[in-house]
Structures are given as structure tokens and as C-alpha cells.
Structure 1
Amino acid sequence: MGKISMTTLALFAIILSISAVESIIDQRPEAVEKWFNKLGQKKEKMTKLHFFLHEAAAPGSANQTAFLVAESNISSTSPTLYGQVSVIDDILREGPEPDSPIVGRAQGLSVSSDLREPTIIMSLNFVFTTGKYNGSTLSINARNPLLSKYRELPILGGSGYFRLARGLITTNTAVFNITSQVTIAEYRVIALHY
């Protein structure tokens, strides 16, 4: 038996790390079909989650998670930044503290969409990366009026643990620092799923 090369060892380590990140729910096509065939026997579950979205939007910062990718011809003069489009990969944490444990990412788009009040349309997937929800997602497409104390966002679907999810998210802004362009928003999720 020969020596294991460093390349083989590195490849093996990569494969192990990928499998550790994969969902704990079998997502192969035949497994999904089998799951749907048994759907009539399944009871709907309710899951409640509580986490904080951490967004850093300052251009060029080392920890930037939101990036402006387009704007309208009036965005720079609009009091609501109308027409700005950002792509985000925000961090989801257990708490509002910047060193709180990470539970996932919020990935998608936000668009400033109201000429009269600061409002964004959010098309996001909450991608969970730890525990029993690892690899599972919740999807939203919602209007988020930023000046309202509490905002209600509909859950449109999910994957993995949250297959066929529907429900509501209540969010509020916990921290908004205009100078550092850091936003921390609290999210309370009530999801129905199978």
C-alpha cells in the first residue's frame, strides 16, 4: 500500500466538509417523491424560531454583506432611495450581539420600491446552517415598510425540514446605525410545515 498524497488527503477533507454541511433531510429526487407519497399520512407541524439578521452595507468594509448592484435615475435624489437594488448574504445569529452564534444566512434581493416612504421588497431565503435545520430553507417575498415598528412578512415555502412551509414572520429593527451602515433586525418566525 502506497503513501497517501497530499492531494488525495486534501480531496478527502473537502468531501468530508461538504457532507457535514449538507442537509440532514434526504433531498434526492426519489426520496422527495417518496416523501410526497406519504404526505397524506403526515401531520402538519408548527415551528417557532427567533433569531437576528445582521447586515453590514458599508461599501468596502471587510464584513460587508449587502451590495448595491443597481439604481434608478432618481435613486440618488429620492428620500426613499427609490429604485436601489441590493444583493444580500446577511448573517443570521441567535442574538443581537455581533459574536452571537451563527444559525444561518439570509440570501436574496432587496429593492427600494416606494416613492413616499422607506420600503423595500424582499425576496429572501433563510438558509439554516446548524442543528436539526441544517441545510433547510424558508422563503419569503414581502413588502417591508422600514419605518413601521413591527412588520409582518409571509412565508411562501421552504425546503428540507420546512417542506411546504407557510406562515408569518414578525420583524422589527433592533439596531440601525446610519454611519456604519449596520442593521440588526429581530425575526420571530411561526411556520407550518410537514
Structure 2
Amino acid sequence: MLCSLVIFTAAVQEAAGLKKGPEAVEKWFKKLPEAKEKVTKLHFYFHDTVSGKNSTAFVLAQSNITSTSPTFFGVFNVADDPLTIGPEPDSKIVGRAQGIYGTASLEEIALLMTLNFVFTDGKYNGSTLSVLGHNPILHKYREMPIVGGSGVFRLARGIATAQTVWYNRSSNNAVVEYTVMVLHY
């Protein structure tokens, strides 16, 4: 069964022109001058669970002033958070947000986000988008750049807009709605 799945996945990637390996990527790049740029809009929910038995984000490091800082400056987390189609915890998972985020401002509660959105379902399965940016989490809307991608999203660039849907002050767990607009080939 696993062998059939691997062969099927490879065939789908090859048919889509996304076969991996340096030769396949070089072939894809040679066709790039004739390629048409596309715009894709994505919508999903990011479930950041930092406490409880099913945590998906963990403290990686913190500074010697984090515990006394009003902005929690210097605490960095590593995350493997689910991305879902809805805000409910049991909503269908379409990917994972994998990477590091941390408080990087002495003046406001703001995160430095370095995440890959790794898609695991549907037509974007196996593709990624990379986010690198400033996330002032107390603002209603936050905008972060998409700085790259892989698979369907090779050479991606765009904007991820985030809005907190739910936050628990005692656990620090949160659900964040993301709308992503991305240009890619």
C-alpha cells in the first residue's frame, strides 16, 4: 500500500511539472520565461497550542529579562501547529505551520515570525509557503510577507494577513485566521 502511494504521489508531481531533484528543477526554470504568473488566495486557521497535553509549540529559549519584561521580550518558541479549514479544534487539517516565533520588541507585544506553511492536503499537498515578518499580535489585523515557497508555490511572494479569532489568557493558546495572497508560477 505504501509503495503504491509513493508511486502515485511521484506520478502526480511529475504530471504537474513538480518532480523533485536538481534536474527537474532546472528543467522547470528553463520553462520559466514562458510561464504565466498566477495569483492564489488561501484561507485557513492556525492553532497555536502552547500548554496542555496536546501542545504543538514549545519554548525554545528565553532571555534573562523575559520574566520581568511587560512585552515578554526574548522568549522564542518552536512550533508545529496545525492549519485547518475552520476555527474549531476538530476542523479538517490542511497543513502545518512549522518554524520559530518569538517576542522581539521592547515596546509592544510583537513576534518575529519565521514559519513555513507546509500543506498536506488537496491540490497544494507537498507545497510550502515561507513567512518571515513582524507580527504585533495585539493589533486586530497583522500583515506579514510571504518570501518564498516550494512545490506549486515555487518563487512565491505575497502577503499573509492574520487576525486572532480566539485567545485564552490563562493558557496562552490561540486560534488565528490567515488569509494569504500569493503570486507564483
TM-score of the two chains, using structure 1 as the length reference: 0.88
Instruction: Indicate the larger mover: 79-88 or 172-181.
Output: 172-181
After TM superposition, the structure 1 stretch with the greater mean CA deviation from structure 2, 20-29 or 130-139, is 20-29
Aligned-pair CA distance for 1:62: 2.2
Q: 2:49 aligns with which of 36, 56, 72?
A: 56
Aligned 8 A contact 1:21 1:129 in 2: no
Equivalent in the alignment of 1:163: 154
Partner of 1:35: 28
| Corresponding residue number in structure 2 for 1:139 | 130
Task: For 1:30 and 1:124, locate their aligned partners in 2 and report how far apart those are by CA, in whole Å.
Answer: 27
**Rg larger in structure:** 1
Structure 1 residue 108 corresponds to structure 2 residue 92: no
Give the counterpart of 1:69 among 54, 60, 72: 60
Distance 1:52 1:174 in 2: 9
Offset of residue 188 of structure 1:
0.3
CA distance in 2, matches of 1:31, 1:21: 15
User: What CA deviation, in whole Å up to 9, does each residue of 1:73-122 have, x standing for no partner?
Assistant: 00011111100011011100001011110000000000111111100100
Identical positions, percent: 54
**Would the aligned equivalents of 1:21 and 1:134 in 2 still touch at CA under 8 Å?**
no
Task: Kindly provide the amino acid, as one letter, of the partner of residue 117 in structure 1.
Answer: E
User: Which residue of 177, 181, 184 maps to 2:175?
Assistant: 184
| Alignment correspondent of 1:91 | 82
Shift of 1:15: 4.3
CA offset at residue 20 of structure 1? 6.8
SS at 2:68 equivalent: coil
**Alignment: residue pair count:** 180
Unpaired segments ≥5 residues, structure 1: 1-12
| Structure 1 SS opposite 2:66 | coil
User: Any unmatched runs of 5+ in structure 2?
Assistant: none
**Which residue identity does 2:19 align to in structure 1?**
D
Structure 1 residue 126: Cα displacement:
0.2
Distance 1:111 1:180, change over 3 A: closer
Q: Larger deviation: 16-25 or 151-160? A: 16-25
- Cα deviation per residue 1:36-89 (whole Å; 9 max; x = unaligned)? 00000100000000000001001xx22101100110000011111100011011
CA distance in 1, matches of 2:184, 2:108: 34
Structure 1 residue aligned with 2:113 = 122
TM-score (norm 2): 0.92
Counterpart in the other structure of 1:10: none
